[in-house]
Amino acid sequence: METNGDDAARLEACEARIGYHFKNPRLLALALTHASDKAGRVEASARDSDEGPAGALSGEPVDNERLEFLGDAVLGMMVCEELFHTYPESTEGELTHVKSVVVSGGVLARISDRLGIPEFMSLGKGMTTYKRLPSSLRANVFEAVLAAVYLDGGFEAARRFALTHIRRHIELVEKDRHRKNYKSILQQYAQREFSITPTYRVIREEGPDHVKEFEVAAVIGEKTYASGRGKSKKDAEQEAARATLNMLNALDADWS
């Protein structure tokens, strides 16, 4: 995947924004190429074919889907390692909860937006009609760029890149600063998107009064969404709201 003058300027601008200079800029170009860019993919494939194996990346990929796959795994490993060493007193369940939030599509989309990565993407004409690209796409391109950094500069370069932007969210979740907001965030989202205020339904109570555990489900309109568990109804409602926001991929709209 060669780059022309305009592409080179776009990639250099992206490098400046993300704070990493690629030895092999073709990796960044690939990470920024969405599968919808049919014309760009055909041109890239033709160029790689003319140049032979030396001009093509392994397997002659022409969009960022394989990099996204790799980036997801690399990010998960890095976050798990960071949590393992930073919070030695936390249980497996607590670490899993933190990881599930910080690698969620909503958080990654917000990080991608802060870095301005979507501005540099190569997209098909159909995608350019969006006022704002879908959250899942914005999250996926961050994972693809992370994978490109990993392949270009190795594990430590990728780790520095990822944790520079992820660590703040790890701290937010661990310190529980935002947890009290889950119900209000879900309420704002549901009212904005569905013109309905969520309600919560207790679906299970277990244990004696002094160690009782509740399971509560979030309900929007006539549809029951995710459930959450807690030692009080309030805690269970917060967990249900958090899980529902993740299900709706809505956290990115409210994380500052």
Instruction: For residues 135-162, give the mean pLDDT.
Output: 95
Tokens linked to 17: 């924004």
Catalytic residues: 72, 143
Give the model's confidence band at 255: pLDDT under 50 very low, under 70 low, under 90 confident, else very high. very low
Q: Domains of the chain, with CATH numbers?
A: 5-175 (1.10.1520.10), 180-253 (3.30.160.20)
Give the model's confidence band at 22: pLDDT under 50 very low, under 70 low, under 90 confident, else very high. very high
Q: CA angle, 34 as apex, 20 and 65 as ends, to 5°? A: 80
Contact (Cβ atoms closer than 8 angstroms) between residue 166 and residue 79: yes
Reported pTM: 0.64
Whole-angstrom distance, CA of residue 8 vs CA of residue 19:
16
Question: 74-88, 126-140, 221-235, 238-252: lowest mean pLDDT where?
Answer: 126-140
Indicate the SS3 state at residue 215. strand
Instruction: For residues 154-175, give the mean pLDDT.
Output: 91
Give the DSSP per-residue string, 221-256: TTEEEEEEEESSHHHHHHHHHHHHHHHTT-GGGT--
Phi, psi of 229 (to 5 degrees): -120, 150
Contact (Cβ atoms closer than 8 angstroms) between residue 64 and residue 144: yes
Instruction: For residues 10-32, give the mean pLDDT.
Output: 95
Identify which of 214, 213, 199, 195 has the alpha carbon closest to the alpha carbon of residue 244.
199
Residue 36: CB atoms within 10 Å: 17
pLDDT at 181: 72
pLDDT at 50: 46
pLDDT at 111: 94
pLDDT at 51: 43
